[in-house]
Amino acid sequence: MRNAVVVFTKVPKAGETKTRLTTNRGGVLTPEEAMIFYEGCVLDVINVCLTANIGEIYVCYNHDGDRDYLEHLLSKSSDRSMIKEVYADQGGNFDQCMQYAADYILQKGGVDRLADSVMIVGGDLPSLQPSILQDAARKMEYLAATAVGQKVAQKSAVPAADIGAALVEGACQEGGFSLIAYTCTTPFGFDRVFYNMDGITALDMLVMKAVQEEIPFGVVEAAPDVDIPVDLASMIPVIRALELAARYEKSIQVPVNTLAVLTQIGLESSALPPNR
């Protein structure tokens, strides 16, 4: 199975990137610090995708983002030449942007598809590890080969293909998910996943869609994203622990760019003692 990994990201820009981390929105960072923090995260995520080596790497960015600036940032990755393509989404709400990011690769399962499956990860996952992506790829291929996966697959989309249906996710905080992977024959769409009027969380909506369509479903280790100050405070000890553990376990990839930004800013996490 030909896999594609899409890093789904905004182009970092002061005042528009990770604004909920800034002092203007009750956070602790300046707009410029929030921007460079996100740049570090994006680079670390891309480098993890390159190390995982499970398929071709793509970057999908916001349609009004600065492409030249993004290219400047990508030039700092571990191997820019290994990024297959960079493309812009078509705007709209988050559901629509995610759908375009996937459809661009899968082409509804047509013969002109760029891959047989797509795995989408966010750019704000500094603790993401290659092993998580590799596990997701293994589970997706296994599920797609099951009898249920073969039965549910939209066969008409891929004549004479034996690619089954499968959906794999990696959770994050507050009922969300940071990774989603599915095959080109999977009867799945992002409609109402992130935006619905029923108060259903994104992860719950994934599960509901999988149950409704009887899609074989898998989960991998969670990789928290960083949107608000409590996420940032929680993340710092995690990546410090990864930095130490990597001395003894070579498979761990240290988010060196994110750590460098934290050092540059002089930011640390703390826990206040309880009032007595």
Within a 10 A sphere around the Cβ of 175, how many other Cβ atoms? 12
Q: 203 near 223, Cβ under 8 Å?
A: no
The percentage of the chain sitting over the pLDDT mark of 90, rounded to a whole number, equals 90
Of the pLDDT bands very low, low, confident and very high (cuts 50, 70, 90), residue 159 is low
Write down all domains in the chain, each with its CATH number in brackets.
Answer: 3-265 (3.90.550.10)
DSSP 200-266: --HHHHHHHHHHHHT--EEEE-------SHHHHHHHHHHHHHHHHHTTT-TT----HHHHHHHHHHT
Question: What would the mean pLDDT of 66-94 be, rounded to a whole number?
Answer: 97
Q: What residues pair up with 167 in beta bridges, in sequence order? A: 182, 217
Q: Which of 119-123, 192-196, 256-260, 266-270 bottoms out in mean pLDDT, i.e. has the lowest?
A: 266-270
What does the pLDDT look like over 33-46, one tens digit per residue? 999 999 999 999 99
Q: What percent of the chain has pLDDT over 70?
A: 97
Cβ atoms of 81 and 162 closer than 8 Å: no
Mean pLDDT of all residues in the chain? 95
Q: Average pLDDT, stretch 115-134?
A: 98
Give the residue from 19, 9, 21 showing the smallest Cα distance to 46: 9
Three-state SS across 176-187?
CEEEEEEECCCC
End-to-end CA distance of the chain: 59
Classify the C-alpha dihedral 140-146-147-150 as positive or negative.
positive
pLDDT in tens, 195-213: 888 899 999 999 999 999 9
What mean pLDDT do residues 62-85 have?
98
Banded pLDDT at 160 (limits 50, 70, 90): very low
Given a contact cutoff of 8 angstroms between Cβ atoms, the answer to whether 163 and 114 are in contact is no
- For 6-60, how does the pLDDT look when each residue is reduced to its tens digit (9 = 90+)? 999 999 999 999 999 999 999 999 999 999 999 999 999 999 999 999 999 999 9
Considering only 22-26, 108-112, 160-164, which range has the smallest mean pLDDT? 160-164
Per-residue pLDDT, averaged over 134-158, amounts to 90
pTM of the predicted protein model: 0.95
**pLDDT score at 270:** 79
